[in-house]
Chain A
Amino acid sequence: MIALSLALAASARAEELLPYTIVNDGIPASLTGAPGDVARGRALVLARTTTCILCHSGPFPETRFQGDLAPDLTGAGNRWSASQLRLRLVDASRFNPDTIMPSYYRADGLVRVGRNFAGKPILSAAEIEDIVAFLATLRD
């Protein structure tokens, strides 16, 4: 209950972000209310501007330039539920304040954000849902 009220308070500060409800270690409900698109999610994970592939690697044989700063995404759908994946994308720092993984759905508490990015989350709610849908399919 405490986690829930904190999350609502935090998301209320950045106006354009949709509110979400944390339950245990995840966000069970879709941010948009609709399921994401797996194919779009795969394209987003591989797009350098989305930044996933800069640090992560995964079962993407066509992509040469992958990172190794973060866990391989292979089997992510076995390790995490959609609810857990959603919260990890939205705000990974909730699990580890020292993580280098950015909080993809947050627009407050940041320092010196570039003009073109100020007040915006890294990903939109719909993009998060597409990526969650795709990662959930990564099963061994």
Chain B
Amino acid sequence: MISWRAIAVATLFAVAPALLAGEIPPDARRSGYTFMGPDTRAMQDDDTSNPGMLFVLDGEALWAKKTGSANRACADCHGDARSSMKGVAARYPAFDKAIGRPVTLDQRINLCRADHQQAAPLPYEDRELLALSAFVAHQSRGIPITAGDDPQAKPFVAQGRALFMQREGQLNLACTNCHDDNFDKRLAGAPITQGQPTGYPLYRLEWQTLGSLERRLRSCMTGVRAQAYDYGSPELVALELYLMSRARGLPMETPAVRP
């Protein structure tokens, strides 16, 4: 269970860069949790009723399971995730020096599989990949988001911000039109959130499963009748990075529950 007093304190001390027009100031940033009804909040708060915890448990088992032709488990290099993975997801997507661009947590897991386990990559939204991502991100629950602070990531944050501000699709709407300018209002009866990605991968009741931030972004793009970017595309990674930097200071909630 997350203490909202801790969030307020974390937000207060977050050192944020100068805000650009239309952006949400740090002390007004709100998790999607605050837009939900009491039933959905209760489902997230109680680990025994949070369906995302089943994925976290699966991920814990996979963490220790040897795989690939190297016959090596995540734990063989990283040890106990409770300490080695603590705070890691709050910094993702993170700049990868070898490939010269940011990678998401899902991509990092697959890079690790390729480089150190000699295992085939897991497909996006695959249950095992979501479970591993959820287990790793769960080790950051309660830790304030700091993704995008790395100076090398800045050009990609800027790219993501430009995409966030870009009107697109047949309905000609940008992310910012709803999630900066109209949060708290209702779209077809449902509250519009700020789009702060604090709890991914998260369990969405509409999906009846866990899903990634990329799945959510693609669904929003389809909603404005735009051609969605492919999973893992540089554009989606940049958007994800911008969104995480925009949520700076908010605590991680993985696995969150959303309607």
Contacts and interface: CB of A to CB of B under 8 A. Distances in A.
Given A100-B177, A100-B182, A117-B225, A111 B189 contact: no
A42 interface: no
Contacts of A8: none
Contacts of A103: 172
A125 to B, nearest CB: 16
B20 interface: no
B217 to A, nearest CB: 13
Interface string A57-73: 00000001111110000
A42 to B, nearest CB: 17
B188 A112 contact: no
Interface residues of B, number: 24
A138 interface: no
B178 to A, nearest CB: 8
A113 B169 contact: yes
A119 B190 CA distance: 30
B222 A110 contact: no
Contacts of A68: 185-186
Contacts of B188: 48, 53-54, 65-67
Contacts of A69: 178, 182, 185-187, 192
A53 B186 CA distance: 11
B171 interface: yes
Contact of B226 (A55, A100, A112, A122): A112
A102 B173 contact: yes
Contacts of B226: 111-114
A55 B187 contact: yes
Q: Is the interface of B mostly helix, strand, loop or mixed?
A: loop
Nearest to A117: B170
A115 B227 CA distance: 7
Contact of B167 (A55, A66, A111): A111
A54 B187 contact: yes
Interface in A93-122: 100, 102-103, 110-117, 120, 122
A51 interface: yes
B95 to A, nearest CB: 26
A114 B172 contact: no
B168 interface: yes
Contacts of A64: 189
A113 B167 CA distance: 10
A37 B173 CA distance: 29
Give the 9 A-B CB pairs with smallest separation, nearest first: A65-B189, A117-B170, A111-B168, A54-B188, A112-B168, A65-B188, A102-B171, A117-B225, A114-B225
6 contacts: A65-B190, A67-B185, A110-B170, A112-B226, A113-B227, A114-B227
Given A69-B182, A110-B169, A114-B227, 20 more contacts: A48-B188, A54-B188, A55-B187, A67-B187, A69-B186, A69-B192, A100-B177, A100-B178, A100-B182, A102-B170, A102-B171, A110-B168, A110-B172, A111-B166, A112-B168, A112-B227, A113-B169, A113-B225, A122-B170, A122-B171
